[in-house]
Chains A and B, each alone.
Chain A
Amino acid sequence: MRHFAIRLIYAAAALFLALMVSSLMLQIVAREFKLPVDWTEEMSRFAFISMVFLASAYATIKRRHLRVSVFSDFVARRIGNRAVAVFHLTILFGFDSVMVWYSGYNFVDGLQFANISPALGFNQNILFAAMCLGFGASALVNLTDLVAVLTGRGDGTLDGGRPKERHA
């Protein structure tokens, strides 16, 4: 189930990236051949924005976010990995939750007060749904890891990128 959800987030992000690339490609071709296509710039921007939030959630899953770790590694050696991991995961879970709440609010509010894009006629406020989903997925991952650390089943480190099974 969890594995499936992760694949789904990655697949959605990758599809948005592909959509961004292909609509910009179409923009170049259409301009050269004077085809009446006026929505490519919008489509690529909207795909890009949606991609970023889902990709950021995927980066949370893979623990690939940019951070400065020298000092916290030093602290971790002194007071133990667990305390530092609990601190990081609590902070991240808190931030993600606030983002989920307000992007959700912006989405609902934005359905009533629409912001209609000129070429596609798309209500741009719907993009807040991607933001809400991305931060929501990120919140779930951080919460699961927090629980795992508190119950002694995981180390909760934020350094991913190495081939390591996080959810054994």
Chain B
Amino acid sequence: MSDVTLALAVLFPILLLLGVPIYAALGITGLVVTWLTNVPLVFATQSILNGLDNFPLLAIPAFILAGNLMESGGITNDIIRIFRRSFGHVHGSLGIVTILSCMFFAAISGSGPGTVAAIGAIMIPAMIRQGYPAPYSAAVSATGGTLGVLIPPSNPMIIYAIIANVSVTDLFAAGMLPGLIVGLTLAAVAYFAARRSGAVVTQVQDEQEQDSVASLMWQGKWALAMPPIVLGGIYTGLFTPVEASVVAVAYALVVSLVVYRSMTWEGFNRAFEGAVLMGGALMIVVACSTLFARTITLERIPQELVELFSLISSEPLVILLLINILLLIIGTFMETISAIIILAPILVPLVRNFGIDPIHFGIILIINIEIAFLTPPLGVNLFVGSQIAGVSIEKVFRAILPFIAALIGLLALITLVPGLSLLIPSLLR
């Protein structure tokens, strides 16, 4: 084993196990590998800073800020009231609501973590106050957020399509049916997991909650107007999904200041402090993971792994199984976009050789990415969920296991039945 492999395979897990913050574990391993390979150490700080120079990341702190402002401005409260009145008596129903909201938001956003930040910032506090366990609330939002990359549009799909030289439109179309299947399955899992989680639905305490749903909806019109404004703005080309995050901030501010007149200086400050703390903790991990990914790239470790398996078998299904296992492993510690940029150029020619349709393979890759978003040590959706809910990664991860099991089952299904991915693109052509 070379020094570099040793550092990656031993030092990194040890640092994590010993409870060193994840950003430092990634950063230290990256530094050590940089030093071992005689690369100037300025490379490390440069990679960490430039890892943040990525526009779509801006949506995450902005959506978190929007959620916090809605919470302190009382907008979230209105939404919760409507939920409680309409679904409060159905045990586990908010899990379904969360997944369905994620599906809707996924249909305009191309990012996984962006979707959790947008939906989770409202749904996690809503669920917790309704009596759902915090880890469950974080888990269901983090999982629902992964639909952001499967239901079109999808940023990772665009990158993959360019590398694999397939049509983005076809790939988007290929994601529709799997997106629907995965979304509905996750909604079912969310329902059953909620029933098992020991959620205690709290009694209605609020006077106003005795009102009819229609009257509550009228009272909550400003809260309810937010999704149509954000979604409508994106659909009509007024702003991009990333820009939508600041529209949400502006809307929350205006409504709570002008309409509700409920925003206090303390509330405002608390919203910012929360967004700063979560944004800092999340984004520094993403920054340090960039260094980690680059050191792996410089050492050509993914390439060597892939070369290994083309020697193992010549059976397409065996190759797909091996690739799925590799992707699941790499997905635990590597950030999505880096993983695609590094792996797709080597994997696409390999699967083409075995007669596998590159569009079908693209969907397989995306489902793997969904799982990668949820698995520690580097699972950005998992982190966003755990930060918003304020519970430890371990607890959220335990609550996420049933969802991961479902996703692995769906991955097998989608791998074995190419028609699920290829039917809609062939109809549209």
> Taking the nearest CB of chain A, how far is it from the CB of B38, in angstroms?
16
Q: How many residue pairs, one in A and one in B, have C-beta atoms under 8 Å apart?
A: 176
Is A48 at the interface (CB under 8 A from chain B)? yes
Could you say which of A21, A44, A49, A161 has the most chain B C-beta atoms within 10 Å of its C-beta?
A21
Is A91 at the interface (CB under 8 A from chain B)? yes
Interface residues contributed by chain A, number (CB under 8 Å):
56
Residue of B whose beta carbon sits closest to that of A92? B24
Is A133 at the interface (CB under 8 A from chain B)? no
Interface residues of A in 81-117 (CB under 8 A from B): 84, 87-88, 91-92, 95, 98-99, 102-103, 105-106, 109
Residue of B whose beta carbon sits closest to that of A128? B49
- The answer to whether residues A25 and B49 also contact, given A69-B394, A91-B24 and a CB cut-off of 8 A, is no
Q: Which of B51-59, B122-130, B139-147 touches A?
A: B51-59
Is B287 at the interface (CB under 8 A from chain A)? yes
In whole angstroms, what is the CA distance A69 to B391 when docked? 12
Q: A88 near B273 (CB under 8 angstroms)?
A: no
Is B376 at the interface (CB under 8 A from chain A)? yes
Note all chain A residues with C-beta closer than 8 A to B62.
Answer: 20-21, 24
> Taking the nearest CB of chain B, how far is it from the CB of A82, in angstroms?
14
Note all chain A residues with C-beta closer than 8 A to B16.
Answer: 67-68
Residue of B whose beta carbon sits closest to that of A49? B52
In whole angstroms, what is the CA distance A58 to B282 when docked? 12
> Taking the nearest CB of chain A, how far is it from the CB of B241, in angstroms?
12
Q: A48 near B61 (CB under 8 angstroms)?
A: yes
> Taking the nearest CB of chain A, how far is it from the CB of B336, in angstroms?
17
Q: B238 near A21 (CB under 8 angstroms)?
A: no
Q: Which of B81-89, B243-251, B325-333 touches A?
A: B243-251
Chain B interface secondary structure, helix, strand, loop or mixed? helix
Q: Mark B378-395, 1 if CB is under 8 A from A, else 0.
A: 000001001100101110
Note all chain B residues with C-beta closer than 8 A to A20.
Answer: 58, 61-62
Chain A interface secondary structure, helix, strand, loop or mixed? helix
Q: A56 near B284 (CB under 8 angstroms)?
A: yes
In whole angstroms, what is the CA distance A82 to B52 when docked? 35
Residue of A whose beta carbon sits closest to that of B387? A66
Is A4 at the interface (CB under 8 A from chain B)? no
Q: B18 near A75 (CB under 8 angstroms)?
A: yes
Q: A66 near B21 (CB under 8 angstroms)?
A: yes
Interface residues of A in 16-46 (CB under 8 A from B): 17-18, 20-21, 24-25, 27-28, 32, 41, 44-45
In whole angstroms, what is the CA distance A126 to B16 when docked? 32
Q: A44 near B45 (CB under 8 angstroms)?
A: no
CB-contact partner of A51 in B24, B61, B242, under 8 A: B61
Q: B45 near A65 (CB under 8 angstroms)?
A: no
Q: A65 near B22 (CB under 8 angstroms)?
A: yes
Q: B281 near A64 (CB under 8 angstroms)?
A: yes
- The answer to whether residues A21 and B65 also contact, given A48-B52, A68-B22 and a CB cut-off of 8 A, is yes
Note all chain B residues with C-beta closer than 8 A to A25.
Answer: 246-247, 249-250
Q: B58 near A102 (CB under 8 angstroms)?
A: no
Note all chain A residues with C-beta closer than 8 A to B393.
Answer: 66-68
Can you list 8 A-B contacts with CB-CB less than 8 angstroms, sorted by A residue number? A14-B272, A66-B22, A68-B17, A68-B22, A71-B17, A98-B41, A98-B44, A158-B19
Q: Measuring CB to CB, which residues of chain A are less than 8 angstroms from any residue of chain B?
A: 10, 13-14, 17-18, 20-21, 24-25, 27-28, 32, 41, 44-45, 48-49, 51-59, 62, 64-73, 75, 84, 87-88, 91-92, 95, 98-99, 102-103, 105-106, 109, 127-128, 131, 158, 161
